[in-house]
């Protein structure tokens, strides 16, 4: 995509959703950090279900440390990898108390030094909690960037570096939310819903998915073709059986 197309791509996503944000629920940067750590290889919905009652009482790292690993594990047991995540959340909460006065740090280096916090988590926190122009690349962003040709790359780091380079103002701050939401609800992994995609003409992915009515028609026509070819085969087989029967019943002198 050239510069004008990239601008138009984000302009349309922004028009469709002027105020995008994370779907993870939290009331402060600490809760957001915990929620993002819990969301690794889990859906935001499953994280919200587990954190809703938890976050009513746990708003600060000290409260989490006081809760303890065992009770935290119990509270998040519906989320994948909950054993490791409980360990990390307690360890990162302790580290926040020991090294940052109980506050969430505002630099990538400090964030990534916390247990269970990788580059993507740091990017989400920097962006969503502190308004930094960072580009967290998760599975949705990676897929959308590669399919569309917006920022193709073999690794998440490559895609992030390209986004960093090409995303123009005034879209830099919210770009990753638009890309995540676009991947989650329209450019889905199994079947992208191209027929209702606002950037269909800018996207290089082919073949585009046709609307459900067209797909239903195509399926019906394929089934009809299959049925008629089956019928033809069956008719042919009956005819040859008959002809074989006739030749068997001829008198031997005529053969
Ligand atoms: S046209 Fe299809 S593949 Fe391209 S971005 Fe839209 S939904 Fe995804």
In contact, 63 and 94? CB cutoff 8 Å: no
Distance 105 CA to ligand 1 centre (A): 37
- 28: three-class secondary structure by DSSP: coil
pLDDT at 133: 95
* Catalytic site residue from 4, 44, 85, 138: 138
In contact, 81 and 99? CB cutoff 8 Å: no
> Tens of pLDDT along 108-158?
999 999 999 999 999 999 999 999 999 999 999 999 999 999 999 999 999
CA pair distance 66, 116, nearest whole angstrom: 19
pLDDT at 51: 97
Tokens 């193709």 correspond to 152
Distance 218 CA to ligand 1 centre (A): 20
Residue 54 has pLDDT above 80, yes or no: yes
Scored b (16 or more CB within 10 A) or e, 209-222 reads beeeeeeeeeeeee
Distance 205 CA to ligand 1 centre (A): 6
CA pair distance 67, 64, nearest whole angstrom: 5
Distance 208 CA to ligand 1 centre (A): 7
* Catalytic site residue from 44, 52, 85, 120: 120
pLDDT at 37: 96
Assigned token pair, 245: 């029967």
CA pair distance 140, 179, nearest whole angstrom: 7
Ligand 1 pocket residues where CB is under 6 Å: 147-148, 186-187, 192-194, 197, 199-200, 203, 205, 208
Q: How confident is the model at residue 255 (pLDDT cuts 50, 70, 90)?
A: very low
pLDDT at 252: 46
pLDDT at 168: 96
- Mean pLDDT over the full length of the chain: 91
- Residue having the nearest C-alpha atom to atom 4 of ligand 1: 203
In contact, 130 and 106? CB cutoff 8 Å: yes
In contact, 49 and 104? CB cutoff 8 Å: no
Q: How confident is the model at residue 24 (pLDDT cuts 50, 70, 90)?
A: very high
**What is the number of residues in the chain?**
255
pLDDT at 240: 66
Instruction: Confirm whether 85 is a catalytic residue.
Output: no
pLDDT at 231: 73
Torsion sign (Cα): 202, 203, 206, 207:
negative
pLDDT > 90 in the chain, percent? 79
Q: What is the DSSP letter of 167?
A: P
Distance 178 CA to ligand 1 centre (A): 13
Could you report how far apart the first and last alpha carbons of the chain are, in Å?
Answer: 75
Q: Which residues are CB-neighbours of 43 under 8 A, at least 6 positions away? A: none
CA pair distance 78, 39, nearest whole angstrom: 12
CA pair distance 66, 252, nearest whole angstrom: 101
- 44: three-class secondary structure by DSSP: helix
Q: How confident is the model at residue 248 (pLDDT cuts 50, 70, 90)?
A: low
Residue range 148-174: mean pLDDT, rounded: 96
Q: Which atom of ligand 1 is nearest to the CA of 193?
A: 7
pLDDT at 227: 75
């Amino acid at each position: 995509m050239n510069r004008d197309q990239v601008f138009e791509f984000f302009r349309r996503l922004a028009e469709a959703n002027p105020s995008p944000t994370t779907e993870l629920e939290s009331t402060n940067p600490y809760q957001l950090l915990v929620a993002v750590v819990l969301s690794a290889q889990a859906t935001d919905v499953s994280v919200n279900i587990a954190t809703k009652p938890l976050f009513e009482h746990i708003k600060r790292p000290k409260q989490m440390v006081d809760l303890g690993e065992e009770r935290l594990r119990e509270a998040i047991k519906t989320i994948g990898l909950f054993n490791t995540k409980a360990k990390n959340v307690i360890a990162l909460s302790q580290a926040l108390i020991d090294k940052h006065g109980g506050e969430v740090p505002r630099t990538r280096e400090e964030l990534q030094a916390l247990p269970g916090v990788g580059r993507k988590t740091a990017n989400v926190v920097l962006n969503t909690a502190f308004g930094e122009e960072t580009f967290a690349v998760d599975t949705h962003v990676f897929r959308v960037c590669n399919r569309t040709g917006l920022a193709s790359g073999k690794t998440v780091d490559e895609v992030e570096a390209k986004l960093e380079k090409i995303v123009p103002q005034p879209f830099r701050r919210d770009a990753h939310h638009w890309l995540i939401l676009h991947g989650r609800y329209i450019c889905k992994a199994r079947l992208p819903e191209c027929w209702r995609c606002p950037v269909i003409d800018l996207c290089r992915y082919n073949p585009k998915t046709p609307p459900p009515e067209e797909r239903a028609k195509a399926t019906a026509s394929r089934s009809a073709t299959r049925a008629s070819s089956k019928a033809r085969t069956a008719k042919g087989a009956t005819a040859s059986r008959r002809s074989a029967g006739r030749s068997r019943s001829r008198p031997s002198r005529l053969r």
